[in-house]
Amino acid sequence: MHTRVVKNLNSWIEVSPKHPFPVYNLPYGIGLFEDGTHSAITRIGDFIVNLSLLFQSGLLRADGLTLKHLAAEYLNAYIALPKATHLAVRERLIELLTEKNAGLYKLDKDLKDSILVPHGKVRLLLPVKPGDYTDFYSSKEHATNVGIMFRGPENALMPNWLHMPIAYHGRSSSIVVSGTNLHRPWGQIVPPNAENPIFSPSKQVDFELEVAFVTRSGKPLGQPIKVNEAEDYIFGLVLFNDWSARDIQKWEYQPLGPFLGKNFGSTISPWIVTLEALELFRCEGPAPEKELLPYLQISGKKTFDIHLEVDITPNNGRPTTVCRSNFKYLYWNISQQLAHHTVNGCNIQAGDMMASGTISGPSPDSFGSMLELAWKGTKPVKLDDGSERTFLLDGDTVTLRGYCENDGLYIGFGEATTTILPAIDYYNSIY
């Protein structure tokens, strides 16, 4: 079953030009409504669509779809449904929102007003409860920049990097939705010119501009997902900020990699943009620089042209855009990432999250972290208010945005926004 990819869809709901949520987008999220109920939702223009009430009205039907899949605190059960069900739901939503004779337009006003709710009246929640979270390291520019800083240009890329997508397993319980603020973390850091660590709040809190994909239900344990079928097991994409405490990470990461420098929090956008909505923005990624093993070889357009931006807003200040990058810069695409993740038989579940790793581009203004933008603290980034940053200060708000634009069609991912709060008073908090 295929979904329509016609871009000239017009809704009877007014949507302004370049609005991130036209009828072609129809992302998924979870909303908390004023009456205290949770529901799976989508968005068109400035309205949230309550999918539970739409189902109860009798207008939304698809094979296998029940109210319990929609009236839920997370989308996991819905994502676990067959892909054919999701495609049927998308087709029906497009029909309901573009054709006045399809039923929704003609509903009783009170019922229609309960289904179509102004977006400001709905609280957006974490869309999935990720059982597992993996963070890849798939941007060649980012990996090269970090390698140059810490190992020199002659050893910038590790020998394995061009042969397989590198990744580590992160902490799923500390993934939070946009709008959730995080405290500056404590940990062991080694001051300059010191030999031994001290216990201190991090002085080098950093953002990482990433995009994550959310998985469908996978194959049984022991059965790999092949690269040419990987997209059948990917539900959609979210913006992802993989917060990092660089000074904690620097001391702890050898020999087993990131730990406390990463797991204090990761921020995602509340909307999952489906692969179907991204179909018209397909493009080719970088060509492999070494011959790949057969299980990683691809053909055709396997990535997407997604423009990405990062703003830093000081406390009581105005935002400065410090980074403009693009998802298409990733050396390893999502199909290769999932194929490698499962090649040993590792299983995946509906709602698992796979982050891309920092997405840096070829120019300094496209570097996806403060570590790179300020080049390890040696080139401070100037904000519009005249202040400078090498890393983030308490009260700084970081906002990630993403959008696609192609020949008059525009869709967006919304935002992933978090403010860094001061470190807690560690000693008084436990004694």
Which residues are tagged catalytic?
A: 142
Cα separation, 34 vs 235, in Å, equals: 28
Question: Residue 397 has which token pair?
Answer: 């708000």
Cα separation, 382 vs 389, in Å, equals: 7
Tell me the pairing of strands 381-382 and 244-245: unpaired
Contact 261, 243 (CB under 8 A): no
Which residue type is seen at 411? I
**For tokens 């239900």, what's the residue?**
217
Cα separation, 278 vs 302, in Å, equals: 11
Instruction: Give the three-state DSSP class for 94.
Output: helix
Q: Which residues contact 13 (CB under 8 A, 6 or more apart)?
A: 23, 44, 45, 47, 97, 116
Instruction: Give the three-state DSSP class for 106.
Output: coil
Q: Which residues contact 201 (CB under 8 A, 6 or more apart)?
A: 184, 185, 186, 423
Q: What is the 3-state secondary structure (H, E, C) of 282-329?
A: EECCCCCCCCCCHHHCCCCCCEECCEEEEEEECCCCCCEEEEEEEHHH
**For tokens 């999502």, what's the residue?**
334
Instruction: Give the three-state DSSP class for 422.
Output: coil
Which residue type is seen at 291? E
Contact 160, 166 (CB under 8 A): yes
